[in-house]
Structure formats: C-alpha cells, structure tokens
C-alpha cells in the first residue's frame, strides 16, 4: 500500500509518500519561519495563506521524487487536528479533494499520533508496548502505548507546554524567532553559576507538567542579573536544565508505574541535545532503551502523517466526504488499530 501524507497543522507544509514495502519514498517540507520572524511568533492567518500557496507545488514535488503517479497512490492522509483551524482546513480540503478526484480512500490523522509513531520511520523502531514522551510547542504529555490507537494519557501540560516555555523564555531574553532552538544553542555556552531553578511539580505525586512558573522565575532572574552575554548563557543553561530534569523525573516515575523498559521521545523538543543525553543516560541506568526520530522528523512533517495514515487506512479506517478540522482532539479518543 502506498499513501501520500499532508501536514499543515501550524507553520510548516509537509508532504511525503510512504510505501508499506519500500518505506519512505519522498519527503518534502517548507517552513514558514522567515514569514513569521518579524512578528515574533506564528500569525494564524498568514500561516493559512502560505499553506494555500505552497501545498500543491509540494504535492507535485513529492509525487515526482517518489516516482509515483496518482495510479500508484492507494490512499490520502492529511492532518485533521490538533492545530490552527485555518491551517488544518487547507490540508483537509486539499487532501479530501485529491482523494475524491482520484477515487482513493482518505483519512484524517491525529497530529500527535503522527509524532508518536515517527520513530517507526527509523530502522531501529521500538516494539509495543512503550512509554511515549511527546514534547512540542503545544503539547507535553506522557502516554502509555500498548499499540496503535491504544493510548492512555498518564500526564500532560496544565499550562505552558515545554516547547512553549522555551519559546516564551527565549523572547524574554531577546532572542529571535524561533526562540526555542536559539535558547538551546545559547545554553551550550553557559556554565553552572550558582543558579538553581525550580523543577515544577516534581515535589508532589502525579505525572502532569507545568512550566509557566518556571518561565516567571526565569523572567525575574533575567531582570535581577547583569545583561552580559555570559550571564545570559548561564541563565539559559539553568532554564534548560530545569526543563530537562523535570521531564526526566516524570519519565522515570511513569516507567516505574507502567513497568515498561522502552521510552519513545518525539515532537519538536525531542531534538534537544541535552534532553536526549539525559534520557539516554537514565534509560541505561534503568536497563532500558530510548527511541527517537531523526532530527528532520522531530518537527512537523508529512512523513509521520503518511505513516500513521497508512496504518489506519490499511485497517479500514476511512473518512467520509465531510471536510473537517479538529483544533482540539484528545489523543486517547482514537480508535484502536487491530
């Protein structure tokens, strides 16, 4: 089976073609970073309009690079949610229209399920069951995964997600958009300098996350300290270490609770080097293994949507003719794939 996947949930237009026997045949991505840089963040209306401009050329490019025509495609997958409603509707309209015109089945894919399954694109793919840490600009959650569609959310953000906290803190430090990766790069120059930032919600039971208080603590530290380059780098490091430690502590709790020995990390923040190193060290000590997608599949992309869509289409999950975006969509409401 061969599926084309379309991703338009936020500020990246991604298209990919995936074959269940040959693997990933093509993967093209257009990022809107430059478009939104002047505004310091994503402007939803501009994002939607840019998806409209880029999506058809990218579909043609992905098909060409996959050496595929419409006759070779067996199904169309597109991101249905969560995400920005205008951006979602662009992908949903185009994806559903292509499926209708080509007389192919279509499926709307959950964006976070795409991230969760992204490590399956790698040669060293995890087996079920496993614990998944999904960390991105809009989500931080721990998920017990018994199979595709068999998800139990063990903990999630009660306010700012980890990626959102990175971006907002970077803005407080005067770093350009996108701030999260720039803050992580600045943190590499930092050294321990007596800063001890809080590890939020680790002093109480439970697996939920909260990073808004850490952001405020960092803002107060920035205001109270000298504004030289080394101090800024030290503060960035202290912030990053606090986020990473918090995520690691919660992962360790969840692994103990589930008894699992496999940990998957996915989403944009999973590309963070310090986070990967910390979780790899933790899993080695626990006698387990950590899995994550390559860097280009940590951020939003069409490959993860094509893969997730193929699994559901192959199981007979097909969307009707209705074009619908779902900006809010609990992950644990998805049907299981038998």
Helix axes 179-187, 229-258, angle to 10 degrees: 100
- Superfamily of domain 127-291 in CATH is ATPase, nucleotide binding domain (3.30.420.40)
- Split at pLDDT 50, 70, 90, the class of 194 is confident
| Other beta carbons within 10 Å of 173 | 19
Strand 289-291: give its sheet, edge to edge.
Answer: 150-156, 140-147, 130-135, 262-266, 289-291
Q: What is the pLDDT of residue 221?
A: 96
Q: Is 245 annotated as a binding residue?
A: no
Q: Is 153 annotated as a binding residue?
A: no
Residue 193 reports pLDDT greater than 90? no
Q: What is the DSSP letter of 298?
A: T
CATH 3.30.420.40 fits 1-115+295-331, yes or no: yes
Taking only the tens place, the pLDDT of each residue in 286-319 is 999 999 999 999 999 999 999 999 999 999 999 9
Q: Is 338 annotated as a binding residue?
A: no
3-state secondary structure of 105: coil
Report if pTM > 0.85. yes
In angstroms, the CA 321 to CA 99 distance is 9
Residue 17 reports pLDDT greater than 90? yes
Taking only the tens place, the pLDDT of each residue in 31-85 is 999 999 999 899 999 999 999 999 999 999 999 999 999 999 999 999 999 999 9
In angstroms, the CA 49 to CA 54 distance is 9
- Domain residue limits, the chain: 1-115+295-331, 127-291
Indicate left, alpha or beta for 326 from its phi (over 0: left) and psi (-120 to 50: alpha): beta
CA distances (Å), 6 to each of 13, 28, 145, 276, 289, in order? 8, 10, 24, 28, 31
- Split at pLDDT 50, 70, 90, the class of 192 is confident
At 28, give phi and psi (nearest 5°): -125, 145
Q: Is 108 annotated as a binding residue?
A: no
Check residues 240 and 192 and name the one with the higher pLDDT: 240
In angstroms, the CA 302 to CA 3 distance is 11
- Split at pLDDT 50, 70, 90, the class of 190 is very high
Tokens 């991505």 sit at which residue?
29
Q: Is 190 annotated as a binding residue?
A: no
- Which two three-digit tokens encode residue 147? 């199979």
Q: Is 110 annotated as a binding residue?
A: no
Q: Is 229 annotated as a binding residue?
A: no
**19 beta partners:** 2, 23
Domains 1-115+295-331 and 127-291 share a fold: yes
């Amino acid at each position: 089976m061969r599926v084309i996947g379309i991703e338009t949930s936020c500020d990246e237009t991604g298209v990919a073609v995936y074959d269940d026997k040959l693997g990933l045949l093509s993967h093209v991505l257009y990022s809107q970073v430059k478009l939104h840089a002047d505004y310091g963040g994503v402007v939803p209306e501009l994002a939607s309009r840019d998806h409209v401009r880029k999506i058809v050329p990218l579909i043609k490019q992905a098909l060409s690079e996959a050496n595929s025509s419409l006759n070779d495609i067996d199904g169309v997958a597109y991101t249905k949610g969560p995400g920005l409603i205008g951006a979602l509707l662009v992908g949903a309209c185009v994806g559903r229209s292509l499926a209708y015109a080509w007389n192919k089945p279509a499926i709307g894919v959950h964006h976070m399920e795409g991230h969760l399954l992204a490590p399956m694109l790698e040669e060293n793919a995890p087996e079920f069951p496993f614990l998944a840490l999904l960390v991105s600009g809009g989500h931080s959650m721990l998920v017990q995964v018994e199979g595709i569609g068999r998800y139990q959310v063990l903990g999630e953000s009660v306010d700012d997600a980890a990626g959102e906290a990175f971006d907002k803190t970077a803005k407080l430090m005067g770093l350009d958009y996108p701030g999260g990766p720039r803050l992580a790069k600045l943190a590499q120059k930092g050294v321990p300098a007596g800063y001890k930032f809080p590890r939020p919600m680790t002093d109480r039971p439970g697996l939920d996350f909260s990073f808004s208080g850490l952001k405020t603590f960092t803002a107060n530290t920035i205001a109270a300290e000298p504004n030289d380059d080394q101090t800024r780098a030290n503060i960035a490091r202290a912030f990053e270490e606090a986020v990473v430690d918090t995520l690691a502590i919660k992962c360790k709790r969840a692994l103990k609770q589930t008894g699992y020995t496999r940990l998957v990390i996915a989403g944009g923040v999973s590309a963070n080097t310090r986070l990967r190193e910390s979780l790899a060290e933790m899993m080695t000590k626990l006698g387990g293994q950590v899995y994550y997608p390559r860097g280009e599949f940590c951020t939003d992309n069409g490959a993860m949507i094509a893969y997730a869509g193929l699994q559901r289409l192959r199981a007979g999950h097909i969307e009707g003719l209705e074009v619908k975006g779902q900006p809010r969509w609990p992950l644990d409401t998805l049907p299981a794939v038998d």
